[in-house]
Structure 1
């Protein structure tokens, strides 16, 4: 299925051109405590101004939906054309998230504790998971299937797989698909309690890695069956059910997901030009992914983790990182340089050396196929293969 347009927002910026330029420049945005949360935990926040939710949809007003709306506004013209062409009943919405508007719920509970009643502006749809898709459907006035997928860090990667199924089954002619996650205390404190947050900054695949850094953002695609320049060529998914938060150490189920994506696209490992690694910089996850990638691709395929630049955007990560691959394949990327892997350059002696792209070897090369990995709590693994058909 074809990915005709993309809107995205993250710590790197609020437009496709700005995000691509910042990512390729190798600039790592320094995580800071988010001022709007009054939190002491550093995170990659979106600093660009976000659009306001229309008054008629105020029950959906939350930061998460404003992030979504920021991404949506970038492709609204293409979506409007699709609605006119196919009809509102034939346009679907599939969105991934893990937080929805939990931050607004946290604020409302603080008011409740102080005053004895919830604030008048609070509505449960601000934080309800299904409200994310409801909001987009109401904003666009479309009447096709609209639902939210929540599988923590692979949520929006699964959303892309689900959107493709809707098109293949003939249920929809176009799907607005992607994901969003916003910073909140629940996420930050939860990862802190797990001991999964870095004390400094995200340092994936280093022997000195000590955890991830949480981010926020949104990405939305317009997906249809109509031929285009960039397509979702393969999807692979697996569930290892090993542990509620730790991955299966041998990487066998992550390997299955990547193999399934290649088989689905009818491609061989040596045909892949670039891998966007899940690369969280947590001790176990990097070791597991290293085993899986090394076994399937060896040490030749260029790869990097984008999380030192965007943070780990959780439910938005799958769509956001697929979006970064889309940018590499798009006409916006005239230089054809690969994005550098930002780390301290000190490899873990217990891990096989991968071909991590460095700032010094970003040689231009024609790009045809990119693979993007999303590995989640509970062992919910998704690999997406995006390329020129």
Structure 2
């Protein structure tokens, strides 16, 4: 696969707004999980909540898109010069040649929940009579409107792999000549459907999550927004590179991964092949590592049997919580920062390693020369994605 240049990228999560907030938190192994105070009847658990979302409504010109999810998107878009980068791409290629490809699992369902809670004799309250927000396409529609773009606009909703799979969509569209650049990423915000839904599956921990810990008790749910701008790489490219991806759908079970990691391994092998690299070339893997029983044991075994001891690996869910449809872009961002900063994130929260874990696991923060890295995203229903990145200047 010809590499794509990542011209700009950004994220906003419980660790803060923008790249430098995330870089500082990773370097200091300072997580962002807090005791749950979300909703009128909070579950006894911990969450990765983004501070200040409630206090910053959308600008008046975007009022029809007003909801928590789009507020979170707007916070992220304004970080790290991302808006200027996209506008520059629009100027280079034209509005019809830039795509918006975004992943989400719930989009603005929080606003729809509120509308149903406030029904008056079966009628939606006037302030929520805005059809644009009561649809899974709300996020992509909002971002397209922000940039006044006219290219393909796609929402990917494949659970926790959503905002990883959009990278693959962008590569195919650019390679086929349909577009010249793509805004990729995703947003998922806290809402009752997510918190109570995962709790009903007995997947939510009452304590901060502990990925790959032998005594882990489940996930901590978070919220996040992140975006990247992809274009064709030029000669002597200095931007970080997206060099490969793998996708698989094993459809083993609605909410449990294949016991032997079949789909995850297929996605991994596919990503290595597209990138033209071997497992031994990988310096760091950002693991999906949700702290659920089955996910972690399957992924731990896969990494242990597939990579040399020199490859470093960790989950960053202990920093941010599991951000669901935004997990792919958030963890891609943290992977890119690991390459930029030479800092391998700690596997925060784990104190007693699961015996299935191999020597690849970085239990504490490490400093390393990260030239090539992977980011894993494994969703419900056996939707699996693996992304491969290379540091600027590394031959692809």
Please say if 1:31 is aligned against 2:34. Answer: yes
Q: 1:153 to 1:37 in 2, by over 3 A?
A: farther
Aligned length: 381
Aligned 8 A contact 1:60 1:135 in 2: yes
- Cα drift, residue 326 of structure 1: 1.3
Residue aligning to 2:358: 353
Q: Which runs of 5+ in 1 are unaligned?
A: none
| Secondary structure class of the residue paired with 1:355 | coil
Residue aligning to 2:256: 246
Residue aligning to 1:257: 267
- Cα drift, residue 322 of structure 1: 0.4
- Cα drift, residue 174 of structure 1: 1.1
Aligned 8 A contact 1:261 1:383 in 2: yes
Aligned 8 A contact 1:51 1:69 in 2: no
2:347 to 341, 358, 370: 341
CA distance in 2, matches of 1:158, 1:174: 16
TM-score (norm. length: structure 1): 0.94
| Secondary structure class of the residue paired with 1:43 | strand
Q: Which runs of 5+ in 2 are unaligned?
A: none
Please say if 1:135 is aligned against 2:139. Answer: no
Please say if 1:118 is aligned against 2:124. Answer: yes
Cα deviations by residue, 1:335-388 (Å, 9 ceiling, x for unpaired) = x22111113321223x142422133x62x3222111000001000000000112
- Cα drift, residue 21 of structure 1: 0.7
Residue aligning to 2:19: 16
Q: 1:293 to 1:37 in 2, by over 3 A?
A: farther
1:386 to 381, 385, 389: 389
Residue aligning to 2:304: 294
Aligned 8 A contact 2:212 2:350 in 1: no
TM-score (norm. length: structure 2): 0.92
1:94 to 76, 83, 101: 101
CA distance in 2, matches of 1:212, 1:341: 14
CA distance in 2, matches of 1:206, 1:298: 21
Cα deviations by residue, 1:9-30 (Å, 9 ceiling, x for unpaired) = 0000012101111122111223
Please say if 1:45 is aligned against 2:67. Answer: no
Equivalence map 1:132-281=2 (5 Å)? 132-227=139-234, 228=237, 229-281=239-291
CA distance in 2, matches of 1:21, 1:373: 23
CA distance in 2, matches of 1:4, 1:115: 51
CA distance in 2, matches of 1:79, 1:52: 22
Higher mean C-alpha displacement, 116-125 vs 278-287: 116-125
Cα deviations by residue, 1:293-342 (Å, 9 ceiling, x for unpaired) = 11211443111100000100000000110011112223xx2xx2211111
Cα deviations by residue, 1:17-49 (Å, 9 ceiling, x for unpaired) = 011111221112233224466523431110145
- Cα drift, residue 289 of structure 1: 0.7
CA distance in 2, matches of 1:325, 1:94: 20
CA distance in 1, matches of 2:92, 2:206: 51
RMSD value over aligned CA atoms?
1.6
Aligned 8 A contact 1:13 1:48 in 2: no
- Cα drift, residue 61 of structure 1: 1.1
